[in-house]
Structure 1
Amino acid sequence: MLLLVGEGVSNAETATEPVIGYEIVTTYVSRILIKLDLRDRGQAVVFAHRTGLVGQI
């Protein structure tokens, strides 16, 4: 999920998969932000890039 956030994929875009609903995506993203002590999706994107999860900035 953090990979998708890091790539800039929105919750709605992620939820288009038939297995994952919008509410589940929102919950997962919220939990990732809490566990990593991040304020918002923007910080999650930066975190994903800086840790090498997605291509470097």
Structure 2
Amino acid sequence: MIKKINERIKKLKNHFLIHKKDFSSMRGLKKIINIKKKYLKYKKKKKPMW
């Protein structure tokens, strides 16, 4: 899951090198980054016991 999210983030970053004023895609990028943060926080919290 993290790999797919990272790929999407890289694609959007490359997109912003060309389209600097694309604010709707910027909103999507921020949403994806927040999803990644929440997922990593969840995984850190749910570490296995062993």
**Which bin holds the TM-score, normalised by the shorter protein?**
0.3 to 0.5
Largest Rg, 1 or 2: 2
TM-score normalised by length of structure 1: 0.34
| Greater fraction helix | 2
